[in-house]
Each structure stands twice: as structure tokens, then as C-alpha cells.
Amino acid sequence: MNNPKSSYHHGDLRSTLLQAATDLIREGGVEALSMRKLADRVGVSRTAPYHHFTDKHALLSALAEEGFRRFEQRLQAEVGDCAPAERLDQFVRCYMDFALASPETYNLMFGSGVWQAGAPTPTLKAEAHGSFRRYVERVEQWQAEGVLPAEVDPLRFAQISWSTLHGLARLMIDGIYVDAHHLEALLDTAVGLFRQAL
């Protein structure tokens, strides 16, 4: 009982699995994560994880959920207390920083693997939609503060600007078209575009 590793019942397998999965992914990408290696590393039998996650898919979804929560925490910490005029800028920086600092987590959160075929876990779906809803509210606030042009439907604006950030993150993570050297210039261009102030 004192040594959970030696007891037949692990006691805290679920969270241990999530932690080990995060490690494995950090070490070698999502492709390096297999249910068998995961079980092996935790010191448990091949099929033990299936008593805590119905699927590999479910495990990945759980990791994605964690990602959304960390993301929202960072946003709240770094964008919350900040002069209104700088909040948009700060948001953009924070978004990109998160995506580029933990690309694997970002892949999990927004990768087709978890969303394809409308297969996301209900809880993941809720987490993601909450995240986007809060972004729309931010946009509305920015419009009210005069940081963003007020003539546009805030929802459409939120969708397009999020698309820009998401697309940029994807292109950078995947190493297509854009080079990390120009990140600052790119973000300036993006923010200029959003504010209609090129």
C-alpha cells in the first residue's frame, strides 16, 4: 500500500497514465505514443489502461482537454490584467506562444485526430466551445473599447481572426511557408489587419 507500484491495484492509474502519456508525447511526438508502451512505462499490463479510457482516442481527448484548461489559465493570467489597448496584442502573443511552446499539445487540441468524423468526447467539445465563446466575448469587449472596428459581427470577426491565428500556428508548427524568424513581423501584420490599421 505504501508503494503503489507493487500493489495489484495501482490506486491512481488514470492520472499516472495521463502524465506518462504527456511525457511520451513530449519525447517523440504523438506518433511515439502507443497504448502498449504507455502501459509498459507505467509498469502495468497492456490492457490495464482500458479500464480508465475506453479507447486510445479517449485518452488523447483527455489530454486535449487538459490542454484547453492550461491554455485558458495562461490567457487569464497574461491577458486579464493588462491595459485594454494592449489586450488584443497580448492575446495574439499568448496564443502563438502557447502553440509554439507546446506544439504537441496544440496538435492534440486542434488536430484532426481528435475531431475528425465528429468524434470528439462531449467533455472535450464543451471545453473547446467554452474557450471559443470566451474569445467571442473578448472580441465584443475590444469592439466596445474601440480597439477593434465595431462594424463587424463579433462572431464572424472572432471566427476569422481565430482562423488566422490557427492557420499561422499550423503553418509554423508544420514548417510550411512561414519561418519562426519572422514571427514578430507576422504578428504585427496580423494585429494591424485586425485593427484595420495597416
Partner DNA sequence: GCGTTATCTTGACACCGTCCAGTTACTACA
Partner DNA sequence: TGTAGTAACTGGACGGTGTCAAGATAACGC
7 binds DNA (CB under 7 A): yes
Q: Are 72 and 105 in contact (CB under 8 A)?
A: no
24 binds a second copy (CB under 8 A): no
- CA atoms of 14 and 63, how far apart (whole Å): 12
* Pattern 132-171, a second copy, x by CB under 8 A: x----------------x-xxx--xx-xx-xxxxxxxxxx
Q: Binder to a second copy among 146, 174, 180, 181 (CB under 8 A)? A: 174
Least distance CB 48 / DNA (angstroms): 3
170 binds DNA (CB under 7 A): no
CA of residue 147 relative to chain centroid, distance: 26
- Size of residue set near a second copy by CB under 8 A: 46
Question: How wide is the angle at C-alpha 192 spanned by C-alphas 188 and 198, nearest 5°?
Answer: 115
C-alpha cell at 62: 483527455
- CA atoms of 163 and 100, how far apart (whole Å): 16
Q: Which of residues 26-55 bind DNA (CB under 7 A)?
A: 33-37, 39, 44-48, 50-52, 55
- The option from a second copy, DNA, none interacting with 81 (CB < 5 to 8 A, set by class) reads none
Compute CA distances 132 → 108, 126, 129, whole Å.
Answer: 16, 10, 5
- CA atoms of 69 and 173, how far apart (whole Å): 21
Q: Are 74 and 94 in contact (CB under 8 A)?
A: yes
Q: Are 135 and 158 in contact (CB under 8 A)?
A: yes
Q: Binder to a second copy among 115, 140, 141, 143 (CB under 8 A)? A: 115
Least distance CB 161 / a second copy (angstroms): 8
193 binds a second copy (CB under 8 A): yes
Q: Are 52 and 13 in contact (CB under 8 A)?
A: yes
Least distance CB 94 / a second copy (angstroms): 17
Q: Which of residues 48-87 bind DNA (CB under 7 A)?
A: 48, 50-52, 55-57
**Contact positions vs a second copy (CB under 8 A):** 29, 107, 110-112, 115-118, 128-129, 132, 149, 151-153, 156-157, 159-160, 162-171, 173-178, 182, 185-186, 189-190, 192-194, 196, 198
